Structure 1
Amino acid sequence: MIKKLYKTYTLILPILILSASCTKLDLQPTDIIDPTKAYRNINDINMGILGVYALLDYTQISLNATVTDEATYPTENNVGNSDAYRWLYNPSSGSVTSLYITYYQAIDRANRTIEGLEALTFTGADAATANRYKGELLALRAYLHFELLRAYAASYQAGALGVPYMKVSDIGYPARDNFEVVVNNAKADLAEAKTLMPSTSTDKSRISNRTIVAAIQARVALYEKNWTDAVTYSSEVITAIPLATKAQFTGIWTDANDNEVVWKLKRVGTNDSRVGDFFFRQTGGIVLYAPALKLINTFDQVNDLRYPAYIKFDATRTGTKSQYLVNKYIGGTSTAPGLTDIKLFRTGEMYLIRAEARAESTGDAAADLNALRAARINGYTNSTFADKQALIDAIYTERYKELAFEGHRFYDLRRRNLPVQRLAADATNASGAVTLLPTQAQYAFPIPAQEVLINKNTIQNSKY
């Protein structure tokens, strides 16, 4: 249930005997914002949009790393929550249900801001800005719903239970929309957003142009298995934002440059939400999650530029300490380790979306796969593939490497109904959690217990 919080005010009235004409006392509460006055001008609308962004963080990254074969749980981690890693989560496990709550809060903020915007009249330059802001809010609403769909849909096919698509800020008991309904609503919001957005902009920290919208459209099309749209939208992004060169690639992960970054979450200051320092490791040096040996073994450790950019080996860490560390989000400064910007969409993902879509339709996908590999691996020579399945398998392996620790692995496996399969060496602290089959409850994240308890129209994912 999407809830609002209310306060009850008790007014202690003095004895009104000074005037017989006093029949009521009109006082406005002073410790809340009157919703009818929250959005008064274009600046208020912008503040509302920033409030939506404030709820976006690295939860998708952490979910995908812990429940799959991307990461392992080292012995030195005596403080982390391991229920997700060991597939012991249930509807009361905040480690896998917090995204549901937080993103619906963000959606509610987006809907409130849209309603506030539509109640105002703008002229001159503010009118153009208002159109752009509405496009941004619609795209955010679509993105948030689709990310919830990836996490909580019973499966990725028509007829499967998805999530409620909320278009207004309201109290009620929304039922779960089917997968295709959520997809179609997201597509409609994105299509309208695109007509309201400028073609280009320099701000990559918010949805500020049509290219960013196209990147979201490409990801939606991939999950919908709409191969034509997936090719169209990924190509739009690839044309606008080329791959980083070999010289540029490592700098993406230290924020030295923004090459091939389409949309990112900007991290600022020294106490902002961090991926590297607050999730993969702690400030005191404890490694909470380390890269899985299965992932490490997929890289050409000598020639693949991604290996040192994503993974660090530290021989000085001995005993029960993991010598392998996630290097992807640690950053390049000593004052704010782990404070690199979170990359939500990159051109590398677009190449892989287009490759998969072409492999499933026209069959000419090898060129995209080889182009991506050539940009990442020194001395690479083009590969050929015996058949469609060999090509699909190669694309999935490349997604495993290219998009490691970016919030995709679990959902990629689910798209193909493949099990999560860990190496025994990666599961020494997993309490037997080596293989997660599509038939098990934990193959889809549960809807939060509180939602099911309060919302009479919510159906839990099966087997929980």
Structure 2
Amino acid sequence: MKFKKIKILALLMAFNLVACNIDTVDQSALSPTLALNNIAGVQSAVLSTYRRVWEFNLYGQQINIHGDAFADNVEIVNRTGRYEQENINGIGVYANRWGQTGFGEGCYGIVKDANYVLAYLPKLNLANVPSTATVTSQNVIDHLAGEAKFLRALAIFELLRVYSYEPGKEIGGFNLGVVLRDKPTLAVSDIDPKPRSTNLECYQFIEKDLQDAIAGLVPSANLGGWPSSLGTITFPYRATKAAAAALLARVYLYWGRYADADAQATAALGFLTVSAPVTSANYVASWSATPHTESIFELEIRASDFSGVDGANNSMNSITTNLLSGSQYCVAASAELIAAHESGDVRRNLYVTSAATSNKPQVRKWPAEKGAFVENIPVIRRAEMYLIQAESRARVGGNDAGAQTAINTLRTNRGLAATALTGQALIDLIMNERRVELAFEGHRFFDLKRLGLPITKNAATSVATIPANDFRILQQIPVDQILLSNGVLKQNPGY
């Protein structure tokens, strides 16, 4: 897809948690009134928001690596400074990467863009919005609003994973979430410091956004009728009902609302034309397919989006392999992750060990299938929905048979035999399946965190087990953000 970058005056500048960065004015920028006064401009703003999501500091690399490096799936190969502090759970990792090119402002930049879209869509004259036989003008409005809410929910959820405990899993009663901003910055008062909402309030906010998205997004069967003047919508590169339901399933899983997580995972699969996992015979090749065979939501990256330096520094391929000249090759799979694979598991074939890989298990999930360092980023895959079904059914209790059905659908498509385990043994197997299936996709640490489990570090780190009540489980909010808020913003415990 083509991403148009819409520049706005200072009101559209990226804001951080406290949103105090308003002192720089882009003299060449358009005002929001001019940029968003027609449907094409609003859609361009939506597409620009997708562009933010795959930046290096978000899903382009760091989210996918952090979830494993903070846990027990990563071993550092080349010590360039990258991910070394994450791998030993050092203090201040996210605080040092908050700014304009960092995680915090990256997520809030998505929120900001989505808020502008949602503020200006209702101002459009419906008579000037194109329609077709299968997609009405109101459908177009609702779909773009659904995309904005999906992306906003995704960004807020990532912030919550990093800075907050999940509802019901608080340590020491600490229940603060993140700052919720749902209005565009149209006046100075819109960027006044705000306190952190509770984690429950934040989860409820995300839930509402995703429920609205599911209701408003055009059914995939009708997307072929998207008005041609607005281009085309290609699955899975933009939000769909399936993607919104899948993300809501993930949110409910973290929330501990297991029956709802199961229901939304089932709904997400039901929205798809093909819902089964990729077969074991095609599994490895699926990581070279564009889009990935199992993708429900995937970020499309093109060669024009990466310069040579960007790719060499920022791509998943560069950080995990040395297949291309100029690669970073900083992280490999830990011995413990490799040992978690059962005999015959086709997923083990994604790790290659040789003298050329420094005798470490090199990750081949990210093969730069589109050219030098360029690969798409699957964010949500069908396999995850089966894992959510299985875990949710097993944890609710009384539905081991349903959990077995879900996990065996995945296992038998990964070269493994079906399981007949029940109870805690079944739950343990499902969690191991999550570890193996979703490795290097940003889940492992956050799975342990949401369940209140200790982080047993892999031996290569020489780091002792980190208990669930260790203050490092939550990341530090940058000190300058606390100071700028004049006491409104509260720091996480222990910092």
Does the TM-score normalized on the shorter chain lie above 0.5?
Answer: yes
Q: Is residue 77–residue 287 contact of structure 1 (8 Å, CA) maintained in 2?
A: no
Q: Render the CA deviation track for 1:233-288: whole Å, top value 9, x for unaligned.
A: 11112332221122332232112553221001111105366542343356434521
Distance 1:194 1:91 in 2: 35
CA distance in 2, matches of 1:306, 1:163: 36
Q: Distance in 2 between matches of 1:81 and 1:388?
A: 37
**Secondary structure of the corresponding residue to residue 296 of structure 2:** strand
**Quick one: which amino acid aligns to residue 76 of structure 2?**
Y
Structure 2 counterpart of 1:64, from 49, 58, 67: 67
* Amino acid of the structure 1 residue aligned with 2:217: M
In structure 2, list runs of 5 or more residues that go unmatched. Answer: 1-17, 132-136, 185-189, 224-232
Shift of 1:102: 0.9
Q: By percentage of residues, which structure has more helix? A: 2
Return the offset for 1:295.
0.2
Matched to 2:479, the amino acid is A
Among 52, 57, 76, the residue aligned to 1:73: 76
Counterpart of 2:28?
31
**Which position in structure 2 is the counterpart of 1:390?**
425
Structure 1 residue 356: Cα displacement: 0.9
Decide whether aligned partners of structure 1 residues 314 and 322 sit closer, same or farther in structure 2, where only a CA change above 3 A counts.
closer
**Residues 194-235 of structure 1: CA distance to partner in whole angstroms, max 9, x if unpaired?**
121122157234443211111011011111111221111111
Which of these residues, 91, 106, 114, is aligned with residue 102 of structure 1? 106
Question: Could you tell me how far apart the structure 1 residues matched to 2:27 and 2:105 are?
Answer: 28
What is the match of residue 440 of structure 1? 470
* Bigger Cα displacement from structure 2, 118-127 vs 356-365: 118-127
Q: What's the CA shift string for 1:9-65, capped at 9, x where partnerless?
A: xxxxxxxxxxxxxxxxxxxx9533223222121111111112211211322112112
Counterpart residue number, 1:114: 118
Structure 2 partner of 1:185: 205
Contact 2:318 2:328 in 1 (8 A): no
Amino acid at match of 1:88: G
Match of 2:450 in 1: 415
Q: Percent identity?
A: 25
- 2:268 aligned with 1:237: yes
Matches within 5 A, 1:174-213: 174-200=194-220, 201=223, 203-213=234-244
The count of residues paired between Structure 1 and Structure 2 equals 428
Q: Deviation per CA, 1:302-360: give whole Å up to 9, x if none.
A: x2221123x2222344xxx3432111112346x423x2211110111001111111012
Contact 1:255 1:331 survives alignment (8 Å): no
Instruction: Label 1:207 to 1:5 Cα distance change in 2 as closer, same or farther (>3 A).
Output: same
CA distance in 2, matches of 1:245, 1:327: 18
Q: Is the Cα–Cα contact under 8 Å of residues 139 and 213 in structure 1 kept in the other structure? A: yes
Structure 1 unaligned spans of 5+: 9-28
Question: Which of the pair has more CA radius of gyration?
Answer: 1
1:70 maps to amino acid: N
- Shift in alpha-carbon separation, 1:196–1:109, aligned structure 2, 3 A: same
CA distance in 1, matches of 2:97, 2:284: 31
Deviation at 1:87, TM superposition (A): 1.6
1:173 pairs with one of 182, 193, 197: 193
User: TM-score with structure 2 length normalisation?
Assistant: 0.81
TM-score (norm 1): 0.86
1:163 is aligned to 178
Q: Which secondary structure state, in structure 2, belongs to the residue aligned with residue 344 of structure 1?
A: strand
- 2: CA distance between counterparts of 1:357 and 1:149? 21
Aligned position for 1:259: 293
- Residue in structure 2 matching 1:226, options 257, 263, 267: 257
What value does the CA root-mean-square deviation take over the aligned residues? 2.3
* Residues in 2 aligned to 1:102 and 1:179: alpha-carbon distance in whole angstroms: 20
Give the aligned residue type for 2:84. Answer: S
